[in-house]
Chain A
Amino acid sequence: MKEDSSFLKKRSKKLLFHCARCRRGARQQVKVFCFFFSKKKILPSLACLLLGLSFFSAASAPFLAPYPPTRIDLRQRLLPPAWPQPGRPGHLLGTDNVGRDMLSRIIWGARISLAVGLSAALLGAVAGSVLGLCAGFFGGAVDAAISWLINVQLAFPFTLFAIFLLAVFGGGFLPVVGVLALATWVNFARIVRSQTLSLRAQDFVTAAHAVGVGAPRILRRYIFPAVLPSIVVVASFSAAQAILTEAALSFLGVGVDPTIPSWGAMLNLGRNYLQTAWWMATFPGIAIALTVLGANLMGDWLGTRLDPRAR
């Protein structure tokens, strides 16, 4: 990556020189412009910005939110977005049908979305990678069994399956994470399996066998580090997918505890007021879209950055 930055520096220098001749005052602006909008940096900058916003909201929700997210004030119900005015506290993003502040609820909702998304991606990554490694490395009956599991999982209409499971076993944070991990592990298992298959035939793995290295150690030291970049990339896409699915499940009423503010549940609530109070559904929707976009952009960027062929 050293080359990249020096290349960038060179390019911005050229630009700077050009600008210095016409207008000296623009120098600083150009520098900032170069950083954010050069082809190589726009993706990670945007991704970091969006994800950073979500993480910041989630982390500092108690300080950031102007109101407690569950405080009901029936006198202030269905207020449109408004700037705070002297003498009267405002609701930047309006209030919902029982007078709770939308902005506060969205800030607190980031906690649920991120916690669920990240936990589900992590759980799926661990389970999927282990199964994928075993399937690819040991082959034979192990591979047949795991591949069969993958195909079965892919054949199910997932949302329906998730609703069924959550209806039977009840909602809540852990069940939702578990069900979402059930959706994401396949992504990991498929990619890790195929990469393990090709790595297993590589000379350096045969060479490790040839000096007497055992199978567990080969998996740990030789194959896992080589598939790790792909796992990271898939994890960011899977987190985005999990956040979206969590919102969908909450929207359908089988998500996490309805008393906890979650973006999906807010969207569901807003559905009934689409014609009278547009802000109730719009803002949670934007929050979901931006966070998922951030996670996907991060995945894209990591994908090009960690691609072994690009090294």
Chain B
Amino acid sequence: MTETLLDIANLHVRFGATTAVAGACLHVSKGEAVGLVGESGSGKSATILAALRLHPADARISATRLTLGGQDVLTLPQPALRRLRGRFAAMIFQDPLTALNPLLTIGTQIAEVLTRHRALSRADARGQAAALLTQVGITDPARRLAQYPHEFSGGMRQRAMIAASLAGDPALLIADEPTTALDVTVQAELVRLIAGLQRQRGMGLLWVTHDLALMAGIVDRVVVMYAGRVMESGPVAALYANPRHPYTIALLESLPRLDQGRGRVLAGGPPDLTRPTSGCVFAPRCSARMPRCVQAPPVFAAGDSHVACWLAAPAGAEVAA
């Protein structure tokens, strides 16, 4: 088995009365690209922020296992945690305009990571930063380094953000909807860029998105979240060809397609996360609801696929949640 970079088991994240994540499980191995899909408020961002312990101070968080490179994130002392962030696992944020410091030049921000994690001198860091910009497809890096984020276009900013996240030479790259704030044409370029860099460097990639189509071509495995829980996970081809959880089916059906016009809209809305739920969280919107659904389904595993639905019960062996 390959080296596990990120391993999350039974993660709970609560903000006051809201339970943002309830028992999520997730793991990313070396060289593997994992897609984390879900609609807004499904707990995707809360999960990955917790993975780096970047969640806001008012979040209460617990997990049976939450490790980065074998180290327990929840109990790690601050200095060790800082060495881990950026060096072992780096993050690309959704909106590069707000995620870059508007008062520092791009060069300074990239060099910051380099001097911090690689103990480079300033001049070396400068050269490295220029090389990184070239790698992410920014021309004339020497001039670009001296510019501020507002002088960059949206796509350029995201490229600079990617360069900064690669500066620590991380083993795991976490991308939080990195293309959502961008044009569709730029999106495609960036997706190719990130996928290329991931293969080239052999990094683990955790790609968070609500765009199923976008990630189909780049990830190996997909994890589908709904209301803070993992509904289904499995190899991308199998999951797209043969989705087993009704929520995944509904998600895939909702995609607009050229030959069939607009997709089918899933009725209803996500549940109120401030109320504790018993039974399956998706049951109220589920088209295949059964009497059994008043009980929360465990996770059933069949090969690489995991499904949290009673429909999968006869086929797979039960896994302790």
Which residues of chain A have a CB within 8 Å of any CB of chain B? 139-140, 201-204, 206-214, 221-222, 225-226
Contacts and interface: CB of A to CB of B under 8 A. Distances in A.
B101 A211 contact: no
A212 B91 contact: no
Interface in B213-272: none
A139 B57 CA distance: 9
A226 B100 CA distance: 13
A225 B104 CA distance: 9
- Please name the 7 residue pairs, one residue from A and one from B, whose CB atoms are nearest each other, closest first: A211-B86, A212-B86, A203-B98, A203-B99, A212-B85, A212-B82, A210-B91
Interface string B115-127: 0110000000000
Nearest to B100: A204
B90 A211 contact: yes
Nearest to A207: B99
Interface in B86-113: 86-87, 90-91, 93-95, 98-104, 112-113
Interface of A is mostly: helix
Nearest to A202: B98
Contact of A201 (B56, B95, B104, B112): B56
A211 B165 contact: yes
Given A203-B95, A211-B112, A212-B84, A221 B168 contact: no
Contacts of B103: 222, 225-226
Report which residue of A140, A208, A210 has the largest number of chain B beta carbons within 10 angstroms of its beta carbon.
Answer: A210
Contacts of B112: 208, 211, 213, 221
16 contacts: A139-B57, A204-B101, A206-B54, A208-B101, A210-B52, A210-B54, A210-B86, A211-B86, A211-B91, A212-B85, A212-B87, A212-B116, A213-B116, A221-B101, A222-B103, A226-B103
A282 B116 CA distance: 62
A207 B91 contact: yes
A204 B54 contact: no
Report which residue of B93, B101, B116, B161 has the largest number of chain A beta carbons within 10 angstroms of its beta carbon.
Answer: B101
Contacts of B164: 211
A91 B39 CA distance: 82
Contacts of B83: 212
A296 to B, nearest CB: 27
B98 A221 contact: no
A203 B93 contact: yes
A259 to B, nearest CB: 48
B99 A204 contact: yes
Contacts of A204: 98-102
A221 B113 contact: no
B98 A211 contact: no
Given A212-B168, A221-B104, A206 B113 contact: no
Contacts of A140: 57
Contacts of A212: 82-87, 113, 116-117, 168
A139 B56 CA distance: 12
Contacts of B56: 201
Contacts of A221: 101, 104, 112
Contact of B85 (A202, A203, A209, A225): A209
A215 B101 CA distance: 15
A244 B161 CA distance: 49
Contact of B101 (A201, A210, A214, A222): A222
Report which residue of A203, A211, A222, A225 has the largest number of chain B beta carbons within 10 angstroms of its beta carbon.
Answer: A211
